[in-house]
Structure 1
Amino acid sequence: MTRSKPRWRSLAGAAALALGACTPRPPIPTIPVVVVPDTADTRPAEPATPAPRPPAVPDTAAFPEALLAPPVRVGLVVDTQRVEVGSAGAFTIATQDGRTVASVPGGGTATFTASGGTLSFTTRQASGSGGPGGAGLPAPLVVRSADPHGTLLVRGAPYRGEMLVQRATTGGGLTLVNRLDMENYLLGVVPKEIGRFDLDIYEAIKAQAVAARTYAVTYQGRRTAQGFDVYATVEDQVYGGVAGENEVVNRAVRETAGEILAYGGRPISAYYHSTCAGHTAAIEEVWNNAPVPYLVAVRDVDPRTGEAYDRSSRLYQWTERWTHEQLVGILNRTLADSLRGRRITQIRDMRVLQRTPSGRVHAMRIETDAGSFTVGKDRVRWILPPVRGGILNSSKFDVQLVRSGGAVSEIVATGGGWGHGIGMCQIGAMGRARAGQNYRTILGAYYPGAELQDLY
Structure 2
Amino acid sequence: MRRWRSAAAVLALLAPAACAPRGARVPTVPVVVIRDTVATRPPPRDTVVITPTQPTNPPPAANATAVRVGLIVDTSAVEVTSTGDFTVHTEDGRELGRLRGGQTLAFRDAGSTVTMESRGGPAGSAMQPPAGVAGAGLRPPLIVRPAAAGGTLSVRGNAYRGELRIQQATGGGLTVVNRLDMETYLLGVVPREIGRFELDIYEAIKAQAVAARTYAVTYLGRRQQQGFDVYATTEDQVYGGAGAENETVNRAVRETAGEILTYGGQPITAYYHSTCAGQTAAIDEVWNNPPVPYLVSVRDVDPSGQAYDRVSSRFSWTERWTHEQMVNVLNRSLADSLRGRRITRIEDMRVLERTPSGRVRAMRITTDAGSFTVGKDRVRWFLVPIRNGSPTGILNSSKFDVSLTRGGGRVTEVVATGGGWGHGIGMCQVGAMGRARAGQDYRTILRTYYPGTEIRKAY
TM-score bracket for the superposition, by shorter chain length: 0.7 to 0.9
Determine whether 1:182 maps to 2:182.
Answer: yes
- Structure 1 residue 256 and structure 2 residue 256: aligned? yes
Cα deviation for residue 390 of structure 1 reads 0.2
Residue identity in the other structure for 1:308: A
**Structure 2 unmatched runs, 5+:** 12-24, 45-61, 129-133
| Alignment partner, residue 15 of structure 1 | 6
Out of 17-26 and 144-153, give the one that drifted further. Answer: 17-26
Q: Which of 100, 103, 115 lines up with 1:105 in the alignment?
A: 100
Question: Which of these residues, 88, 94, 119, is aligned with residue 93 of structure 1?
Answer: 88
Q: Structure 1 pair 178/191, CA: closer, same or farther in 2 (3 Å)?
A: same
Q: Secondary structure at the match of 2:137?
A: strand
Q: What SS does the aligned partner of 2:445 have?
A: helix
Structure 1 position 52, deviation (Å): 5.7
Q: Give the direction of change, closer, same or farther, for the CA distance of 1:273–1:22 in structure 2 (3 Å limit).
A: farther
The CA deviation string for residues 304-335 of structure 1, in whole angstroms up to 9 with x for no partner, is x2100000000000000000000001100100
- Contact 1:394/1:420, CA 8 A, preserved across alignment: yes
Are 1:363 and 2:353 counterparts?
Answer: no
- Structure-2 separation of matches of 1:23 and 1:404: 46
Q: CA deviation at 1:50?
A: 3.5
Task: Find the aligned partners of 2:378 and 2:215 in 1 and give their Cα distance.
Answer: 23
> Given residue 80 of structure 1, which amino acid in structure 2 is its aligned partner?
T
Partner of 2:319: 320
Q: State the 1:127 CA deviation.
A: 3.3
Provide the residue aligned with 1:60 in structure 2. none
TM-score, normalised via structure 2 length: 0.87
Alpha-carbon distance between aligned partners in 1 of 2:358 and 2:123, rounded to the nearest angstrom: 61
Identity, in percent, stands at 69
Residue 411 of structure 1, CA deviation? 0.2
Q: How does 1:42-441 map to 2 (within 5 A)?
A: 49-51=37-39, 53-54=41-42, 68-127=63-122, 130-132=126-128, 133-170=134-171, 172-303=172-303, 305-388=304-387, 389-441=392-444
- Deviation digits for residues 251-295 of structure 1 (CA, Å, limit 9, x no counterpart): 000000000000001000100000000000000000000000000
> Counterpart amino acid of 1:205?
I
Alpha-carbon shift at residue 406 of structure 1 (Å): 1.4
The CA deviation at 1:413 is 0.2
Distance 1:116 1:416 in 2: 49
> How many angstroms apart in 1 are the aligned matches of 2:40 and 2:235?
9
Q: 1:228 to 1:352 in 2, by over 3 A?
A: same
Displacement after TM superposition at 1:134 (Å): 3.8
Tell me which amino acid in the other structure corresponds to 1:126. Answer: G
Q: Is the 8 Å Cα contact of residues 432 and 442 (structure 1) preserved in structure 2?
A: yes
Counterparts of 2:313 and 2:165 in 1: how far apart (Å)?
40
Deviations 1:376-415 (A, max 9, x none): 2011000001012100000000000000111100000000
- Between the aligned partners of 2:453 and 2:170, the Cα distance in structure 1 is 37
* CA distance, structure 1, for counterparts of residue 103 and residue 420 of structure 2: 47
Moved more, 127-136 or 100-109: 127-136
Q: Secondary structure at the match of 1:234?
A: coil
Please give the TM-score of this superposition, normalised by the length of structure 1.
0.87
RMSD: 2.1
How many angstroms does 1:77 deviate by? Answer: 1.0
Q: Judge which range, 253-262 or 107-116, deviates more.
A: 107-116
Mapped contact 1:104–1:125 kept (Cα < 8 A): no
Q: By how many angstroms is 1:105 displaced?
A: 1.1
Question: What is the CA–CA distance in structure 1 between the aligned matches of 2:289 and 2:264, rounded to whole Å?
Answer: 19
Structure 2 vs 1, CA of residues 115 and 26 (structure 1 numbering), >3 Å: closer, same or farther?
Answer: closer
- Structure 1 residue 100: Cα displacement: 0.5
Q: Deviations over 1:4-61 (max 9, x none)?
A: xxxxxxx967434476996589778xxxxxxxxxxxxxxxxxxx944262499xxxxx
Q: What is the letter of the counterpart of residue 223 of structure 1?
A: R
Q: Report how far residue 429 of structure 1 moved.
A: 0.1
Alignment deviations for residues 337-357 of structure 1 (CA, whole Å, 9 cap, x no partner): 101111100000000000000
